[in-house]
Amino acid sequence: MEKSNSYKGNYDILIDDSGWGSPLGGVVMGVYKFDTKQFSWRIIEENHFQVPKYEKKSYLSQIALKVLEMINELNVDKNAKILVCRGYCNNHIPQLLKYNGYMYVERGVVGEPLQTTLEEKFKEYLADLGFNGYKDPKVTNKKEISRSFYATVKWAMENDKLNLCKTGWSYFTENKHLRLEVNVKKENTETTKKRKRNRIKVPIVIPSLNFK
C-alpha cells in the first residue's frame, strides 16, 4: 500500500493491499466496487512469507488468485475500469485479470474509500492474532513506523508468536539471534509432529501365573 489522501480517477474498481510492511501476520487484500459501494477482503496467510514459499514468491500468485476470487464475488463487469495499487506484491494481478477478460486494468496509487477500510481490517486481523499495537502507516511518520516495527517483533518474540511472522524476510534470516529463535520454534514444532506421528501403542501384557 502506498500513501494517498483521497481517491482520484474515473475508475469502477479499486484494488489494494495492507500489511505488506508488517513483520507480523500475512497480507490483507481488498477490492472496492463503486457503483454498489461493496467491499470484499481476503487474508493471504503468513506461511506464504516464510521459507520455503517466500523464496518461490508464492504470495504473488496467491494474491492475484484471491483478487480474482473477489472480483467474481462482486460480479464485476468485464468492461469495468480497474485500478490496482502499484505495490510489488500486486504485480501478478493485472496479468491474471486481463487473461480473464478484464481489459481496462491500470496501476497507480489507491486512496479512499478503500484504503482506510483495508487498514482497519488488517488491524482487526492482527488483533485476532493477539496483537493490539498496529498503527496505520499512512498516518504515521517514518520514526514511528520504525519503532512500531521493532515493537511488533519484540512482542512476537516475548509471546512465542514468531511462527506468525514473515520469517522469510532477510530481516529474520540474516539476523543470527532471530534466525536461531525461528529455527528452534520450527524444530520444536516438527519434533512434536514427529512424536505424534511415530507414537506406537504398545499392548500391555500381563504375564500368566504359573502355579506348578
> 2 vs 85, 89, 138, 175, CA distance in Å?
8, 12, 8, 27
Burial of 49 (0-12, 13-18, 19+ CB in 10 A): buried
Neighbours of 51 (CB within 10 A): 14
Mean pLDDT, range 110-116, rounded to an integer: 89
pLDDT digits (tens, 9 = 90+) for 166-178: 999 988 888 766 6
Other C-beta atoms lying within 10 Å of the C-beta of residue 98: 13
For 80-104, the pLDDT digits (tens) are 999 999 999 999 999 999 999 999 9
Please report, as a single letter, which amino acid is at residue 201: K
- In this prediction the pTM is 0.78
On whether the CB atoms of residues 71 and 1 are closer than 8 A, the answer is no
Helix (H) or strand (E) holding 175: none
| Confidence grade of residue 203 (pLDDT, cut at 50, 70, 90) | very low
Whether the per-residue pLDDT at 138 is higher than 70: the answer is: yes
* 42 pLDDT above the threshold of 80: yes
* CA 114 from centroid of its chain's CA atoms: 17
* Ordered alpha helix ranges (H), the chain: 58-73, 93-99, 114-128, 142-158, 170-173, 176-198
How many angstroms from the chain centroid is the CA of residue 79? 29
Burial readout 15-38 (b: 16 or more C-beta within 10 A, e: otherwise): bbbbbbebbbbbbbbbbbbbeeee
Q: Using pLDDT thresholds of 50, 70 and 90, give the confidence band for residue 142.
A: confident
pLDDT band at 143 (very low <50, low <70, confident <90, very high): confident
Predicted local confidence at residue 175, as pLDDT: 75
